[in-house]
Amino acid sequence: MTAPIPRDIPDLPAIPGMPVPLESFVPASAVVTPTRRPAAAAFRLLVALVAAGAVGVELLLGNPLQVLSHFSIQTGVLVTVVLAISASRAWTARRPLPPLVTGGTLLYVLIAALVYHVVLTRGSSVFIITGTEAGPGAGTVTATDGVTPPTGWHALTNPLLHTVIPLAAAADWLLLTRPGPLRPAYAATWMLYPLAYLTCTLTRGAVLPDGSPAPYVYPFLNVDQHGYKSVLANALLLGLAFYALALFLVAVDHLRPNPVRHRHHRRGRRSRRPRRDRLLKTGFRLQPPVG
């Protein structure tokens, strides 16, 4: 007979010098096979090249320092860099850029398009629109007629910067990215760049000597004509609109479907092998788990 097992077994003392096992984290790339996305890479590269070409033409046609002070040109440069990097990562099946960067790029390019089409082109009565500055290739702003049609090469670069590229960036976001990564907290962070742009624009206009051409690149920011009170009121209204647009993008990002998952699901269904082929390849029949 064997002795009964006692109910209370004391814990064995720890052996000194034994290393404590550490938790190991397995990266997702070690479990999920990375997938190359050549179609997304080609589209993003094309948009990046178009944006780079439009910005390059504007730089050649005007004073580079003056041209680079426009918000639409800066967003064109940002789109070029971000989409070029995103195209490279999609082609090589690497992790995409952080959503804080890609979402901010989309927001800024949409801001440039909306300000041009709503405020500058139509001469919105909410904002003070007088003067001659309207942005690169945008024509001339008047108090009654808005923006006159651009001519020459500006007639090509203007719709690219303010219409084609923003629509392409929105299409890339809606059709080629997974939904859900944008967070409401990003909206406040995205407002730092417009705030910095406003500060630099007002500082630039204040330090330039009298008689300088276009010290303020946008008429609703022209302190010489409207004073700081009106300009800051315009900036406050635009800032609230930009913040609302940022929250709108976050809401849409959480409500829209996942086009990437649907395409992978259809592709996986087409690539499934018949059951007999799987059985011949493995040599045994797989049974569902029990329990």
pLDDT of residue 26: 59
Identify the top-confidence range among 8-22, 91-105, 131-145: 91-105
Number of Cβ within a 10 Å radius of residue 160:
20
Local confidence band at 225 (pLDDT 50, 70, 90 cut-offs): confident
Q: What is the pTM of this model?
A: 0.74
The residue ranking higher by pLDDT, 2 or 72, is 72
* Mean pLDDT along residues 100-117: 95
Q: Please state which of the ranges 130-144, 160-174, 191-205, 226-240 shows the lowest mean pLDDT.
A: 130-144
Instruction: Name the pLDDT band for 209 (thresholds 50, 70, 90).
Output: confident
Assess contact for 89 and 44: CB atoms under 8 A.
no
Residue 194 has pLDDT above 70, yes or no: yes
pLDDT of residue 218: 87
Mean pLDDT value of segment 60-77: 92
- Is the predicted pLDDT of residue 30 greater than 80, yes or no? no
Return the closest-CA partner of residue 139 out of 126, 127, 123. 123
Q: Which residue has the tokens 């960036």?
A: 169
Return the bridge partners of 142, or none: 146
| CB 133 within 8 Å of CB 150 | no
239 pLDDT exceeds 90?
yes
- Looking at every residue in the chain, the average pLDDT score rounds to 80
Q: Which residue has the tokens 């929105």?
A: 170
Per-residue confidence (pLDDT) for residue 57, from 0 to 100: 94
Lowest mean pLDDT among 24-33, 36-45, 64-73, 83-92: 24-33
In the chain, what percentage of residues exceed pLDDT 90? 49
Q: How confident is the model at residue 42 (pLDDT cuts 50, 70, 90)?
A: very high
Higher-pLDDT residue of 125 and 252 is 252
pLDDT in tens, 249-289: 999 999 998 887 655 545 545 444 444 444 445 444 545 44
What are the extents of the domains in the chain? 98-256
Question: Which pLDDT score is estimated for 121?
Answer: 81
Instruction: Give the integer Cα–Cα distance in Å for 103 and 106.
Output: 5
Question: Which residues have C-beta within 8 Å of that of residue 158, sequence separation ≥ 6?
Answer: 136, 137, 138, 139, 150
Between the alpha carbon of residue 91 and those of residues 46, 47, 85, 87, 209, the distances in Å are: 13, 15, 10, 6, 49
* pLDDT for the residue numbered 138: 52
User: What pLDDT shows up at residue 267?
Assistant: 52
| Nearest C-alpha neighbor of 77 from the set 97, 98, 102, 105 | 105
The string of DSSP letters for the chain reads --PPPPS-PPPPPPPTTPPPPPP----HHHHSPP---HHHHHHHHHHHHHHHHHHHHHHHHS-HHHHHTSHHHHHHHHHHHHHHHHHHHHHTTPPPPPHHHHHHHHHHHHHHHHIIIIIITTT-TTS---SS---TT---EETTTEEPPP-TTHHHHHHIIIIIHHHHHHHHHHHHS-SS---THHHHHHTHHHHHHHHHHHHHHHHSPTT-S-SSSSGGG-HHHHHHHHHHHHHHHHHHHHHHHHHHHHHHHHHS--HHHHHHHHHHHHTPPPHHHHHHHHSS---PPP-
